[in-house]
Amino acid sequence: MDQEVTSEQIKEAVRDAYGQIARRFIEEPQAPKQSCCCCPSTEVSCCSPSTAPTAQPAASRLYAAEELSDLPESVTETSLGCGNPLAVAGLRSGEVVLDLGSGGGIDCFLAAKKVGPEGRVIGLDMTPEMIDLARRNAQELGMTNVEFRFGQMEDIPLPDESVDVIISNCVINLSPDKDAVFREAYRVLRPGGRICISDIVVDGDLPQSIRRRLDAWTACISGAIDESVYLAKIRAAGFERVEVVSRQRNIVDESIEWDELGTAGESDEDQDAEQYQAHSGLGLSDWASRVMSIKILAYKPA
């Protein structure tokens, strides 16, 4: 039986999962919020960027207190990132910034403060409910230099060389076509422009039985690829000075019963374990220690 998941299934699952989260944020603002990076389902939450218990909202673990001080809880509580790409972006007044997979908009609002009224921030997201949530948040903040556009990062609805800086926080792992994402990012950046990414990668590989799980895709696990492959894709798109600025390990929530792999039959699991052991030297249950949150900075040649 062919148990590979298709790109269409992944896109649909991601849009459904994040649509549900956005609706919950809009309809039940008082309800307990996600407490880790991307945790779109209640059954499978995922990796959290710290090993500490995840009772605090994600934003306070990712951003400095002073960065968050003038954002309302309605914005900070919609943070679903796994890092802080702005920490390496060095944004300057007047720059045009594009956020790939902007979600509720937290990074866009922080960027908008840094680029000021002369600058502009565009948040792009493929989930209509997330665009709705982000626009509500922008309205509440009264920010006029931020806009949110519906679209896919594999086919960015912007002209060539129209952006100074691209940021993205825990999104590219969700794409089944990462080459297209980096190709498009390169196209829309002006020469000399930079891309600043926080994302989930793997040191090595994941078992096929995890890769096949759609719930683990939407939780930012199954789409995570080996770090060196990820960096090679960025270089292949044309970027130079590709640098990993930071890495954080031990981010997978260990309270989750990840061993209950669900989709694979018993014999498939045995085969999977054998293959995984052969090429990674790890047992099936050890993969989680290889998942990392990293921050990357790269430049389009001037």
Tell the burial category of 118 from Cβ atoms under 10 Å away from its Cβ (0-12, 13-18, 19+). Answer: exposed
In the list 36, 46, 97, 106, the residue contacting ligand SAM (rule: CB under 6 A) is: 106
Least Å distance between CB 17 and ligand SAM?
Answer: 8
10 Å Cβ neighbour count for 64? 10
DSSP class of 85: G
Least Å distance between CB 140 and ligand SAM?
Answer: 16
Binding track, positions 60-89, relative to ligand SAM; x by CB under 6 A = -------------------xxx--------
In the list 96, 153, 163, 219, the residue contacting ligand SAM (rule: CB under 6 A) is: 153
Nearer to ligand SAM by Cβ, of 54 and 102: the residue is 102
Read out DSSP for 211-234? HT-HHHHHTTSTT--BHHHHHHHH
Contact 286, 21 (CB under 8 A): no
Element holding 199 (H helix, E strand)? strand 189-202
Nearer to ligand SAM by Cβ, of 49 and 207: the residue is 49
- Please report where in the chains the tokens 């900070």 appear, as a residue: 76
Return the range that interacts with ligand SAM (CB under 6 A); candidates 99-107, 157-165, 254-262, 273-281: 99-107
Least Å distance between CB 222 and ligand SAM?
Answer: 13
Least Å distance between CB 160 and ligand SAM?
Answer: 19
Return the range that interacts with ligand SAM (CB under 6 A); candidates 150-158, 188-196, 208-216, 273-281: 150-158
Least Å distance between CB 168 and ligand SAM?
Answer: 7
Distances (CA, A) of 57 to 32, 86, 188: 9, 19, 33
- Spell out the alpha helix ranges (H) of the chain: 7-27, 58-62, 65-68, 73-76, 106-115, 128-141, 178-188, 208-211, 214-218, 227-236, 266-280
Element holding 100 (H helix, E strand)? strand 96-100
10 Å Cβ neighbour count for 267? 8
Return the range that interacts with ligand SAM (CB under 6 A); candidates 65-73, 166-174, 201-209, 281-289: 166-174
Total number of residues that touch ligand SAM (CB under 6 A): 25
In the list 91, 170, 185, 224, the residue contacting ligand SAM (rule: CB under 6 A) is: 170
Q: What strands lie across the sheet with 120-125, from one edge to the other?
A: 146-150, 120-125, 96-100, 163-169, 189-202, 291-299, 240-248
In the list 49, 57, 103, 223, the residue contacting ligand SAM (rule: CB under 6 A) is: 103
Task: Considering only residues 197 through 256, tell me which ones interact with ligand SAM, judged by CB under 6 A.
Answer: none
Least Å distance between CB 103 and ligand SAM?
Answer: 3
Task: Considering only residues 7 through 46, tell me which ones interact with ligand SAM, judged by CB under 6 A.
Answer: 14, 18, 38
Return the range that interacts with ligand SAM (CB under 6 A); candidates 28-36, 122-130, 235-243, 268-276: 122-130
Distances (CA, A) of 160 to 7, 98, 107, 155, 201: 26, 13, 23, 12, 28
Least Å distance between CB 33 and ligand SAM?
Answer: 12
- The torsion of the CA quartet 53, 57, 62, 68, rounded to 10 degrees, works out to -150
Contact residues toward ligand SAM (CB under 6 A) are 14, 18, 38, 79-81, 101-104, 106-107, 124-127, 130, 152-154, 169-171, 174-175
